[in-house]
Structure 1
Amino acid sequence: MSYESYGGDKGPFRMEDLVKVQDGSVVSRTVIDRPEGTVTAFAFDGGQALSEHSAPYDALVQMIQGAMEIKVGGVPHSVKAGEWLMMPADVPHSVEAMEPSIMVLTMVRG
């Protein structure tokens, strides 16, 4: 996705304008996709989850709105709007929205 395709050429934007919470769903939108890494916005309805999985890259979660429980290596973390959480490469993690929530995931490949 290019900078212009999501309206970045118009100046500052809000992640919550790029991805909306939908009833009973998890929705994502890729903001940046480069060989070095990705930035993806996710919207979760309350109670929606991603089951335990791992990724071969370090990742950083930024909560934009709402609250989630994110387990990293089996350890639960309550992450609220305005907070950040690091997830190391190859460590299993899972995500569950405690309420309607939006987060940004930055994955570093390089």
Structure 2
Amino acid sequence: MSHVADLASLIDIQEEATVSRTVLREDGLRAVLFAFDKDQALSEHTAAMPVTIQVLEGRLRIGGGDRTVELTAGGIVYLSARLPHTVYALEPSKMLLQMFDNRG
């Protein structure tokens, strides 16, 4: 069993930056924390595996396919493998990205 008690405390928001930190790596799963200052973004990209994005603090706009959603703390979104998507911080924010590698 792997355990992380308080995800948000493991990463700090840095002025005018986006930072990330891998916090869990197990068979079929990788969990990465991201911290965004206001107006920071991840430009359009894809992932080779399905992912979830969960907002821990703040407010993010997530675009994927032809949809865009705004998420606040506690919100979560699922993105299928290879779906082009973006992340934009509407305010200083922290998120958990979980990548599910089911490629065998």
The alignment's TM-score, normalised by the length of structure 2, stands at 0.91
- How many pairs are equivalent? 101
2: CA distance, partners of 1:36 / 1:82: 23
2: CA distance, partners of 1:57 / 1:106: 10
C-alpha displacement of 1:35: 4.5
1:106: which partner in 2? 98
Q: CA RMSD in A?
A: 1.3
1:7-52 per-residue CA deviation (whole Å, 9 max, x = no partner) reads: x5xxx62112100100001011101123512000100001000000
Residue 71 of structure 2 corresponds to residue 79 of structure 1: yes
Residue 46 of structure 2 corresponds to residue 54 of structure 1: yes
Say if 1:39 and 1:106, in contact at 8 Å, map to a contact too: yes
The alignment's TM-score, normalised by the length of structure 1, stands at 0.86
Q: Rg: which structure is higher?
A: 1
Indicate the SS of the match to 1:13. coil
Q: Which amino acid aligns with 1:48?
A: Q
Q: Which amino acid aligns with 1:24?
A: E
Gaps of 5+ in 2: none
Give the fraction of aligned pairs with identical amino acids, expressed as a percent.
35
2:35: which partner in 1? 43
C-alpha displacement of 1:75: 1.5
Higher helix share: 1
Equivalence map 1:11-22=2 (5 Å): 13-22=5-14
